[in-house]
Structure 1
Amino acid sequence: MTAAMDERATDPDPFAPDVAERRERRRGALGWIALGVVVLLLGGGLSLLAVRDWTARPPLDPDGPGADGARAIVSILRDQGVEVLTTTRRAETRELLDARTTLVLTDPWTLSHDTIRDLVDAAGDTVVLDADGDVVDLLVPGAASAGYGSGPVAPGCALPAARRAGEIEPGRAFTAPAGAEGCYPVASGFALLRVAGGAGHVTILDGTVLFGNAHLAEQGNAALGLGLIGSHDRVVWYVPTLADAEDGTAAAPTLGDLVPPWVTPAIVLLLLAGLAAALWRGRRFGPLVAERLPVTVRGSETLEGRARLYSRSAEPAHAADLLRAGAAARMARRLGLPPDSAPAEVADAAAARLGAPTDVTRAILTHVPSTDAELAVFGRRLRDLEHAVDAARADGRA
């Protein structure tokens, strides 16, 4: 007994290769994880270095190089000797305004009505490039939306800047109440409204389709922009941000203002709980482990077991389909046919090889037994046909 135990102790571990394979796989996974972390850190560093280029800019941003930016018209204004100052805060904008300065507002929906009036009153001329209905009604009382332009339109007014620019393809249009001058008629309104305001005039138009980098070279857009914005030697281009929304009571509420204060901590807690659950449950899953079976099952036993199952299920037609498929595939290979040939094609080729009538071979291959006795007869006929095809030569002689 001691000798047998010593012999078993000296035998190599049969599962050692599996353990070594798992260790090798684990080392490979750790290597890929380390590579992914390095790539993420490198990408994060590069994104921090280029954060200015990756930051999304609002439409008509004076420094925006994209299709909806306004860098092109700002560059043209500066080439013409106009000083263009860009701001993003209300207080700074108010300090720069005077009666000899043009104020450009791109998207004033975050500002209160009092803030907008204060800025307009302090400027010489004001050009609003992207005003919603509320701002239009504030600056031009009685004006309302009047559709959208669909093609080139002539000025149709006496405004010098519009007459020099000629035709444009306007965007939104507004009705012109009493006291307002309208240019570029669209349906029942005008694409450009001009009223007295501040030390000069207030002009409202849809600059997103006129003065963006992608549309500035079309029609008379550039000339119109230079005529309206470059009327003074200095321009203050104000791009309001959400930070200025706190300065007024009429600013639109943000998503953070609409949700209760406990929502953000709850979301963070749920994310942490989900991550902890993933780590906890994820440890239970690993690579598949090869396990040796305690016994070896012979093919004949498997065949007999399946045959008994088919017999118990009382499905001779299903068993016949399996026999037919196997016999047809073997005969097709011997007859030079594709392995997926239909039984009828195999039957015709077998009839040609044997010199027998095709209806006989087709009756053998396509027969569908309904009882176990018929299944046995069907199996014997298939076997005989297959033996005959094996014994027959290509020239038709056995």
Structure 2
Amino acid sequence: MTVTAPERAASTVPGGPSTSTSATVRGMWRGGRGMVLFGLVVIVLAALTALVTGTSTEGRRLDPADATLTGSRALAEILGRRGIRVERVSTVEDVVRLDGPGTQLLVSSTAYLGDDDITTLSRTRADRMIVGTVPGLSTLAPGITASGQASVRSREPRCDLPAAVRAGSAFTGGGALTVPARSIGCYPGADGPSLVRSFGTPTVTVVADGAFMTNQRLAEDGNAALAINLAGAKPVLIWLVPEESRAVPGAGHASAGDLVPAGVPWAVLQLGVALLVVAFWRGRRLGPVVVERMPVVVRAAETVEGRGRLYRARRARDRASATLRAASAARLAPRLGLSGDATPDEIIAATALRTGQDAGWVRSVMYGPIPADDAGLVALAGHLDTLERQVREP
């Protein structure tokens, strides 16, 4: 039976009722230990003050010096190892200083740039790579505009651009772009391509979304190859990361934090401290819960590995493949809007329609023959995982 510490701490005085020895905060204060509670309140107050006034540790998206999931430090290091000199700059003046025929300018944000800055960038001789449908896109990439929205997922290039053809499928989307004359579009969606390259002087490349360049996505599909082919087209890459301090007053780019009145954080802080004080005052200090130890604890990973070894020892590729396919079909059916008793033909048709894959290939993966060897079983697992990932991310 599981009991709590207060139940064990209760003592019974002969001839009288049982009395709990669990102390309350009020009892601690009366007992001369109020200074301990006061010290705790001061520590909590100091911690909350540090949280309110401290700087944010979140990374900046597509920053070549940022090692978080949304940064692009991995791409910058790969380019450096391939002989590409990556120059991270934060001002338009630095871009002009490094500008030249053997350079390429990468712009992923113009939120802190004014109209004059964008005009200056459009006059540089360097080739330009614009990531995202940023403000000022029509100036930096004449003729290329946003024409719609598209989900970000794994897509095939379906174009003749060598940089995209060599990379293959990539995690792209985020928007659709127009394709002006002397241009080529890749990775199309329903409303248009998500990558457009305009051949001129200079060459301008626009990608609707830069998720494939982040540290989180770089190792997936052909993302690394596409990012290297696009960003490493010239010996010098000028990577512009505008600083927040360069925000233009009245430009309309204030963040949500800038719109909050200065007294609001302190009011929230005072309410938090008051809530903690009330919680300590009304709370009751409980001891640790007494639990019974389980005789045996088996990790789920060990169970899966053990079953896999049994399948392999008996060469039961038929049961293993049937289990993988049944589990995949059970997970796909609700995501496709089908009931639990959907027929194989219904699941195949819905999966092919959602993913764009050939229905015959989907049938061979989900209901095909038993793999002939272990390598075929591993390949089958990979194909099933690909189908589920494409259904999850339409």
TM-score using structure 1 length: 0.52
Classify 1:84/1:269 alpha carbon distance in 2 versus 1 (closer, same or farther; 3 Å): closer
**C-alpha offsets along residues 230-259 of structure 1, whole Å, 9 cap, x if unaligned?**
112221211123322228x75524568878
Deviation at 1:210, TM superposition (A): 0.9
- Write the letter of the residue equivalent to 1:136: L
C-alpha separation in 2, matches of 1:254 and 1:46? 19
Number of equivalenced pairs: 252
Q: Which residues of 2 match residues 385-396 of structure 1 at below 5 A?
A: none
Match of 2:36 in 1: 31
In the alignment, structure 2 segments of 5+ residues that lack a partner are 1-25, 283-394
CA shift for structure 1 position 223: 0.9
Aligned residue for 1:169, secondary structure, equals strand
| Shift, 1:73, TM fit | 0.8
Give the Cα–Cα distance (whole angstroms) in 2 for the partners of residues 201 and 30 of structure 1: 70
- The answer for the alignment partner of 2:223 in structure 1 is 221
CA distance in 1, matches of 2:153, 2:50: 47
SS in 1 for 2:247: helix
- Distance across 2 between alignment mates of 1:85 and 1:269: 41
What secondary structure, in the 3-state scheme, does the structure 1 residue paired with 2:206 have?
Answer: strand
Which residue identity is paired with 1:252?
H
Which of residues 107, 110, 116 in structure 2 aligns to 1:108?
Answer: 110
- Distance of aligned partners of 1:28 and 1:115 in 2 relative to their CA distance in 1, 3 Å threshold: same
CA distance in 1, matches of 2:257, 2:57: 21
| Native 8 Å contact 1:137 1:144 kept in 2 | no
Does residue 98 of the first structure (1) align with residue 106 of the second (2)?
A: no
Query: Is the CA contact 1:109–1:251 (under 8 Å) kept in the aligned structure 2?
Result: no
1:128-207 equivalences in 2 (<5 Å): 128-132=130-134, 134-138=135-139, 139-141=141-143, 143-149=145-151, 151-172=153-174, 173-196=176-199, 199-207=201-209
Write out aligned runs for 1:272-291 (5 A).
none
SS, match of residue 86 in structure 1: strand
- Residue 144 of structure 1 deviates from its aligned partner by 2.6
Output the CA distance in 2 between the equivalents of 1:269 and 1:44: 9
Give the secondary-structure state (helix, strand or coil) at the position aligned to 1:58. Answer: coil
Distance 1:237 1:45 in 2: 33
* 1:67 Cα deviation from its structure 2 partner: 1.8
Would you say 1:211 and 2:213 are equivalent positions?
yes
Aligned partner of 1:100: which letter? G
Residue 164 of structure 2 aligns to which amino acid in structure 1? A
Give the partner amino acid of 1:82.
Answer: I
1:3-82 to structure 2, matched below 5 A, reads 25=30, 27-37=32-42, 55-82=57-84
Q: Could you say which structure has the greater relative contact order, defined with CA pairs below 8 angstroms and 6 or more residues apart?
A: 2
User: Gaps (5+ residues) in structure 1?
Assistant: 1-20, 287-398
In the other structure, the counterpart of 2:23 is none
What amino acid maps onto 2:196 in structure 1?
L
- Inter-partner Cα distance in structure 2 for 1:154 and 1:24: 69
User: For residues 248 and 183 of structure 2, what CA distance do their matches in structure 1 show?
Assistant: 32
Q: Measure how far apart 1:140 and its partner are.
A: 3.4
Q: Contact conserved, 1:109 with 1:135, CA < 8 A, in 2? A: no
What do residues 151-195 of structure 1 show as CA deviations (whole Å, max 9, x unaligned)?
A: 543323332211211222311221223343212222231111122
After superposing the two structures, state which structure 1 stretch, 151-160 or 227-236, moved more: 151-160
Could you list the per-position Cα deviations for residues 332-357 of structure 1 after superposition, in whole angstroms to 9, with x for gaps in the alignment? xxxxxxxxxxxxxxxxxxxxxxxxxx
- Residue 242 of structure 2 aligns with which residue? 240
Q: Cα–Cα, structure 1 residues 256 and 188, in superposed 2: closer, same or farther, change >3 Å?
A: closer
Distance 1:75 1:167, change over 3 A: same
Structure having the larger proportion of residues in helix: 1
**How far is 1:96 from its partner?**
2.7
Inter-CA distance 129–39: structure 2 relative to 1 (3 Å threshold)? same
State whether residues 103 and 120 of structure 1, in contact with CA within 8 Å, keep that contact through their aligned partners in structure 2. Answer: no
Question: How far apart are the structure 2 equivalents of 1:142 and 1:236?
Answer: 21
Kept in 2, the 8 Å contact 1:111–1:251? The answer is no
On the 8 A contact 2:28/2:34 being kept in 1, the answer is: no
Letter in 1 for 2:223: N
Percent identity over paired residues: 30
> 1:85/1:25 Cα in 2 relative to 1: closer, same or farther (>3 Å)?
farther
Please provide the CA RMSD for this pair.
4.2
